[in-house]
Amino acid sequence: MPVSDHQMIEAWSRVLKLSKLERGQTVTILTSAATHPQTLSTALIATQAMGAIVNRLDLPPVNGEKALSRDALAYLGTTPLTGNPAAIAALKASDLVLDLMTLLFSPEQHDILSGGTKILLAVEPPEVLARMVPTEADCERVKAAAGRLGRAKEMHVVSAAGTDLRCPLGEFPAISEYGFVDEPGRWDHWPSGFVLTWPNEGGASGTIVLDRGDILLPQKTYVTEPVRLTVENGFATRIEGGLHAELLSEYMASFKDPEAYAISHIGWGLQPRAHWATLGLYDREATIGMDARAFEGNFLFSLGPNNEAGGQRTTTCHIDIPLRRCTVRLDGVDVVTEGKVMDGFQYPKE
């Protein structure tokens, strides 16, 4: 059900305080045609109430004629900032950018962050944002997981459905997503709550089996029959199965880019307030599926770019696939066992 403006202002205030917004700092709110009006209006009130100098930068959408979906992550080509030095300058001059548009996988975003500007992405519906307001405990848990992931040399993922994937690690950093930006130059996504990295270039190998109930994003579809991906030298070389395998294959082939099939980020969900079942309760155009990406105990892998981690792949195709009931091992030690996170973390009682 909808949330009130009061609830959203409270939610924004908590996130902004966690993000260490100070009186007199400059906040630019980045918007476009798909920005939710309640998210925008309450962000404007909350930032001004905290004494920030607030700007709104509204940019026209791009790539609509190229994408096969209205989802903001369906086509990762140029952004509204491409070739727009005036807009980039405004964002680089800001202490904090609230991205209500979806600026991802772009050199412009890296340029803005490199100057110390913080960027917080928030594009889910207000009721999802209100349900998953980040906490300091989220940060503690995700950072601890990132520490373990950052020290590991191999991730090995298995499942009863047939997944058996090995990914050598070490070339790329471990990334923490916990929902707020508390350090200069940090990017994060509200809502989130997961840890991820990328396999060493060309190193991932094995088999990934999507079982019933696993999720394809941005299709926002629960798989109803097994889909088998064969992974060789870092790429999915075969996609086999029934209708969902055909749909995935056809979608990826439409990009006409062999780099779309590369194994991209890998990690696991740590957010207990995210729910596997939620995707079936929303219109497909209302959400980008952060519940699916963050629910506790998933194994989340993706296909496509790695430039977010400093790699060279900038393919416009990006597929996120959360799997249930997997066992994730780092250097032979379970961090997730059959979909249950093994960190023993206890959230404080409210």
CATH for 90: 3.40.50.2300
At residue 33 the predicted structure's pLDDT band, cuts being 50, 70 and 90, is very high
Question: Quick one: how far is CA 319 from the chain centroid?
Answer: 11
Residue with tokens 């009006």: 37
At residue 73 the predicted structure's pLDDT band, cuts being 50, 70 and 90, is confident
Can you give the length of the chain in residues?
350
Q: How many separate domains does the chain show?
A: 2
Question: Per-residue pLDDT averaged across 86-109, rounded?
Answer: 94
pLDDT at 336: 98
Whether residues 293 and 309 share a domain: the answer is: yes
Cα–Cα nearest to 206, from 180, 181, 235, 184 = 235
Whether residues 229 and 182 share a domain: the answer is: yes
Whether residues 87 and 147 share a domain: the answer is: no
The residue segments making up the domain with residue 53 are: 5-131
Domain-located, residue 29: yes
Give pLDDT tens digits for 226-266: 999 999 999 999 999 999 999 999 999 999 999 999 999 99
pLDDT at 311: 79
Question: Per-residue pLDDT averaged across 167-182, rounded?
Answer: 97
Give pLDDT tens digits for 194-233: 999 999 999 999 999 999 999 999 899 999 999 999 999 9
At 68 the three-state DSSP class reads coil
Domain-located, residue 271: yes
Whether residues 90 and 171 share a domain: the answer is: no
Rounded CA gap, 251 and 238, in Å? 14
Rounded CA gap, 235 and 225, in Å? 22
The residue among 116, 131, 146 that closes a domain is 131
Domain-located, residue 350: no
The residue among 131, 151, 183 that closes a domain is 131
Cβ neighbours for 350, distance < 8 A, ≥ 6 positions apart: none
Give pLDDT tens digits for 106-122: 889 999 999 999 999 99
Whether residues 153 and 103 share a domain: the answer is: no
pLDDT at 49: 98
Domain-located, residue 347: no
User: Which amino acid belongs to residue 300?
Assistant: L
Low-confidence winner among 62-71, 85-94, 148-157, 190-199 (lowest mean pLDDT): 62-71
Low-confidence winner among 82-86, 275-279, 303-307 (lowest mean pLDDT): 303-307
Whether residues 70 and 154 share a domain: the answer is: no
Whether residues 156 and 264 share a domain: the answer is: yes
Q: What tokens does 315 get? A: 């393919």
Whether residues 153 and 90 share a domain: the answer is: no
Rounded CA gap, 82 and 160, in Å? 45
**Residue 169 and residue 153 in contact, taking contact as beta carbons nearer than 8 Å:** yes
Give the number of C-alpha atoms closer than 13 A to the C-alpha of residue 299, restricted to the C-beta side.
26
pTM for the model stands at: 0.96
User: Which amino acid belongs to residue 38?
Assistant: Q
Question: Per-residue pLDDT averaged across 21-36, rounded?
Answer: 97
**Residue 255 and residue 189 in contact, taking contact as beta carbons nearer than 8 Å:** no
The residue among 131, 158, 186 that closes a domain is 131
Whether residues 148 and 285 share a domain: the answer is: yes
